[in-house]
Amino acid sequence: MKASKRIFVWIIISLVLQCSVYVFLDKVYYAPEGNIKYTDVTPQVPQKKITPKVVLNSYAKNISLSDDLCYTAYISNGQVTVVDTNTGKATGNLTYASGVKCLAYTWIPHSDVVIIAEELNGKQIKFYSYDAEPEKQEKVEIGSAKDSVPAGRNVTVDMRISDQTGVLYVKVGYSETLDKIYRIDRNETINRIVATNVGIMAEDYDDDQLAYEDLVHDTIRTDYTPKPRIAISGVYKPGLIGSDENDNFYVGNGVEQSSKVYYGKLTDNTSSWKNISLGTMVKNNSIVITQNGNVYIVDRENSKVTDAKSNKSYSYEGNFWQINDGYIVYTDGGKLMIKKM
């Protein structure tokens, strides 16, 4: 076929294809709605009492519950599973394409929605939200294809989300010394934050403020321009512990373990920050900050949780997983348990 004839045919094909799509969009997708049905439905009601009936296999890890304790999530065999805490039954429509490995998940505060980070064929990391509530169970992709985050060998992911601003920060660990932080805003735009070797990350619940440990310089950096570093007088190597829903960030007086926890707002001078003495040296990863600002010390050896402010202790049996809304969440012989504190 002559080149000119071929191009002519291709132009015709293009016009036919384009017009077919435009006709569909014009006459179907964007046509005025002409078929509206109204049905009386029974509204969903909140579950009142939670009595866990969840049995977990020994491979289940990262076990955590939604804020209302109604749903339990865990990672097993590279997949996130969400079950109804009261029945132990898996919720619907949470499926994965072949070649997908779930790297991490996080619950959105005050909701039954999880955000899942999936690695696709070892090439890119995609993010999905999934609402566990009946009638809503649908997995929705976050962000567009052009904004994907690159994966890597043995990549790790940690996520923090602000309840109020909807900004999601994702730490992707590519190696022992290389991490990258990505910021996904409400418009689902993905941007990279300049950071290389990052430890713990914490985000303000109310404001768009991120703090993270810079392991190269043993300091805590923030993206709040008036205070790019959290420096506390007398603390040589601070360690970031977490944040609460009253805009407070919590900093330990050591990178690995601390005997004192300082806390306050980024907008306040650190000299006016308050502090809590822990009485002894405690590993930073055994200090838990809850949304309402309580500080707990988890003693895994003695199966005990102590409120650092009131010094009150609570015992449990088995493996500790989290403190959620005033409950200790743990597994005992594979059975999920919750205990009110």
- What is the contact surface with another protein in residues (CB under 8 A)? 7, 10-11, 13-15, 17-19, 22-23, 25-41, 43-46, 108, 110-111, 113, 115, 129-131, 133, 136, 138, 140, 142, 163-168, 185-189, 206-209, 224-225, 266-267
In the block, which residue shows the tokens 């805590």?
A: 220
Q: Which is nearer to another protein, 147 or 307 (CB)?
A: 147
Q: Between 91 and 253, name the residue whose CB sits nearer to another protein.
A: 91
Cβ proximity to another protein: between 20 and 196 the closer is 20
The secondary structure of 235-290 as a DSSP string is: -SS-EEEEE-TTSEEEEESSSSEEEEEEEEETTS-GGG-EEEEEEEEEEGGGEEE-
CB of 27 to another protein, least distance (A): 7
Q: Read off the amino acid at residue 103.
A: L
Specify the residue, 43 or 234, whose C-beta has the smaller distance to another protein.
Answer: 43
Classify strands 257-265 and 274-283 as parallel, antiparallel or unpaired: antiparallel
Element (H, E) at 171: strand 168-173
Q: Quick check: helix, strand or coil at residue 215?
A: coil
Q: Classify residue 323 as left (phi > 0), alpha (psi -120 to 50) or beta.
A: beta
Nearest CB to another protein, comparing residues 56 and 116: 116
As measured in angstroms, the least distance from the Cβ of 281 to another protein is 34
Query: Are 106 and 162 a contacting pair, CB within 8 Å?
Result: no
C-alpha span between 336 and 314 (Å, rounded)? 17
Nearer to another protein, 106 or 331 (CB): 106
Cβ 159 to another protein, closest distance in Å? 11
> Whole-number minimum distance, CB 77 to another protein, in Å?
25
Q: Which long-range contacts (CB under 8 A, 24 or more apart) does 329-334 make?
A: 329/63, 329/64, 329/65, 331/56, 331/60, 331/63, 334/55, 334/56, 334/57, 334/58
Q: Minimum distance from CB of 57 to another protein (Å)?
A: 28
Give yes or no for a contact between 286 and 259, defined as CB atoms under 8 angstroms apart: no
Q: How far is the CB of 113 from another protein (least distance, A)?
A: 5
Please state the closest distance from residue 280 (CB atom) to another protein, in A: 36
Smaller CB separation from another protein, 60 or 65: 65
